[in-house]
């Protein structure tokens, strides 16, 4: 068994870091809301999101294998100042994500302990633990993230099985349909949380840590991505099934509180279901913090043309720790903005979808079509079609959502 795992992580594992970064507490609530409002109807959107996420990660990985990392490409094209400006702008989004994730972990522990400890100090503790985990050797982090993703898969499959879904209706959910505008927006949200822009930078960097640097490694890379995105997709589908089979019949039409999904599960399936739900939120949220915050030092140091020594340099660790130190002050942000934990969980990822995703998708498209960099490995017309779809979709979401997202985040500061 030990030899099996050693061989597995020699070849695979990177995709589980990528999937762990996108599958946070926001993904759980979006999937839960989809099941509550539309039953099994939006399962097809998960499949589409997984396919698009896979294609984007495949392009990022090939960029790292055949060319440069994405931020190195940006520096060579725009110079240090241009690259650093982009890196710092995108770093704000990573910190916003971490604010939401530390709050989610803290609130989950508060509920698990029956309110014995409030979420605010627990959010700070979460940040400290994330710093400790994040500065470990990459190999350890990869193993932890992979284990956590399989734990999430097992937890939610158990609850999905116990919820007794109508399998005929589940099967219908694989057929694309959009009953109304709300369903379209939720489908877009599922897609937006799966095509996570920090991963476009990370994958192009971390492929080198796996030793993937030539044609012979592309097969392993794609097998790895297939495994990771399959696990992530199955978890999301399981959450939609649970929400549709349990919360919707119980009369829930929206998730207005942090524990609403868990409370409904407890009523129908027992206390154990609430505990499993909260453990899942904790695992998903914590899983996302480390890879998302790795993105900041990688981007900044590569923008400056400095060697991050594959994440082991002193500068890398200091920037990583500094970013999380800011990100763990979610209690202060909640007080200043008037946002609840649920609002932070949903709005801060939306902020990234509005500002980070369109910019990064366009930069990835540019890099993958640079003949000087990629040579014969530039995008085919089919891959370009997928990339253009991602760029146009993210731009559409940004244009239509920017005003509402910013008003929702900052409105409470002036009320």
Judge whether 89 and 358 are in contact, CB under 8 Å.
Answer: no
Return the percentage of the chain with pLDDT > 90, whole number.
28
Ranges 66-75, 104-113, 379-388, 394-403, most confident = 66-75
Q: How confident is the model at residue 305 (pLDDT cuts 50, 70, 90)?
A: very high
Instruction: Name the residue with higher pLDDT: 289 or 10.
Output: 289
**Is the separation of the CB atoms in 43 and 173 below 8 Å?**
yes
* 112 or 142, greater pLDDT: 112
Are 159 and 238 within 8 A, CB to CB?
yes
- The CA distance from 291 to 198, in Å, is 8
Whole-number Cα distances in Å, 272 to 234, 261, 291: 21, 13, 30
HEC letters along 232-246: HHHHHHHHHHHHHHH
- For residue 128, pLDDT beyond 50: yes
pLDDT band at 45 (very low <50, low <70, confident <90, very high): confident
Helix (H, G, I), strand (E, B) or coil at 118: coil
**What does the pLDDT read at residue 86?**
97
Domains of the chain: 2-414 (1.20.1740.10)
Half-sphere exposure of 46 (CA within 13 A, CB side): 28
On average, the pLDDT of the chain sits at 84
Mean pLDDT value of segment 129-140: 81
Q: How does residue 124 score in pLDDT terms, banded at 50, 70 and 90?
A: very high
pLDDT band, very low/low/confident/very high, at 414 (cuts 50, 70, 90): very low
What pTM did the predictor assign? 0.85
Q: What are the pLDDT digits (tens) for 173-217?
A: 988 888 887 777 777 778 777 878 898 899 999 888 888 888 888
Mean pLDDT of 147-172: 83
Instruction: Give the pLDDT mean for 64-69.
Output: 91
Residues 382-394 have pLDDT tens digits of 888 877 887 787 7
Compare 143 and 332 and report the one with higher pLDDT: 332
Judged on CB neighbours under 10 Å (0-12, 13-18, 19+), 48 is middle
d(CA 289, CA 69): 21
| Cα distance from N-terminal residue to C-terminal residue, the chain | 59
Cα-based torsion angle of the residue sequence 108, 122, 138, 353 in order, rounded to the nearest 10 degrees: 60
pLDDT score recorded for residue 153:
80
Q: pLDDT per residue over 218-251, tens digit each?
A: 899 999 999 989 988 988 898 899 888 887 887 7
> How deeply is 291 buried, as exposed, middle or buried, from its count of CB atoms within 10 A (0-12, 13-18, 19+)?
buried
Q: Is the pLDDT of residue 273 over 60?
A: yes
Q: Please give the pLDDT value at position 1.
A: 62
- The mean-pLDDT minimum among 279-283, 323-327, 404-408 falls in 404-408
With contact defined as beta carbons under 8 Å apart, do 103 and 330 qualify? yes
Q: What mean pLDDT is predicted for residues 44-67? A: 88
Confidence category of residue 129, pLDDT binned at 50, 70, 90: very high
CA 326 to chain centre: 19
So what's the pLDDT on residue 226?
A: 93
Higher pLDDT pick, 259 / 210: 210
């Amino acid at each position: 068994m030990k030899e099996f795992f050693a061989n597995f992580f020699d070849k695979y594992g990177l995709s589980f870091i990528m999937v762990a970064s996108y599958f946070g507490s926001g993904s759980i609530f979006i999937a839960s809301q989809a099941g509550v409002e539309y039953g099994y109807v939006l399962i097809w959107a998960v499949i589409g999101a997984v396919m698009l996420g896979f294609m984007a990660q495949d392009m990022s990985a090939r960029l790292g294998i055949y060319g440069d990392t994405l931020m190195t490409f940006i520096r060579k094209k725009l110079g240090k100042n241009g690259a650093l400006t982009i890196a710092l702008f995108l770093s704000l989004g990573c910190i916003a994500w971490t604010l939401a994730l530390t709050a989610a972990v803290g609130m989950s522990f508060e509920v698990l302990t029956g309110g014995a400890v409030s979420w605010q100090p627990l959010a700070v503790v979460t940040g400290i633990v994330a710093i400790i985990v994040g500065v470990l050797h990459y190999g350890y982090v990869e193993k932890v993230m992979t284990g956590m993703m399989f734990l999430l898969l097992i937890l939610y499959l158990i609850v999905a099985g116990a919820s007794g879904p109508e399998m005929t209706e589940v099967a219908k959910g694989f057929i694309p349909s959009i009953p109304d505008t709300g369903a379209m927006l939720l489908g877009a949200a599922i897609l937006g949380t799966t095509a996570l822009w920090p991963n476009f930078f990370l994958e192009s960097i971390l492929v080198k840590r796996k030793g993937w640097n030539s044609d012979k490694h592309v097969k392993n890379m794609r097998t790895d991505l297939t495994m990771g995105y399959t696990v992530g997709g199955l978890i999301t589908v399981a959450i939609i099934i649970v929400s549709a089979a349990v919360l919707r019949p119980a009369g829930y039409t929206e998730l207005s509180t942090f524990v609403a999904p868990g409370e409904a599960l407890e009523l129908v399936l027992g206390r154990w279901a609430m505990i499993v739900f909260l453990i899942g939120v904790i695992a998903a949220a914590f899983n996302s913090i480390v890879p998302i915050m790795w993105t900041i030092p990688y981007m900044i140091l590569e923008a400056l043309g400095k060697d991050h020594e594959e994440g082991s340099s002193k500068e890398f660790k200091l920037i990583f720790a500094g970013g999380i130190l800011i990100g763990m002050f979610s209690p202060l942000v909640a007080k200043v903005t008037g946002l609840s934990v649920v609002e932070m969980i949903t709005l801060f990822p939306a902020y990234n979808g509005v500002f980070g995703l369109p910019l990064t998708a366009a930069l990835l498209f540019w890099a993958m079509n640079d003949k000087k960099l990629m040579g014969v490995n530039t995008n085919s017309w089919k891959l370009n079609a997928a990339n253009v779809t991602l760029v146009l979709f993210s731009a559409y979401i940004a244009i239509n959502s920017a005003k509402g997202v910013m008003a929702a985040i900052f409105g409470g500061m002036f009320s």
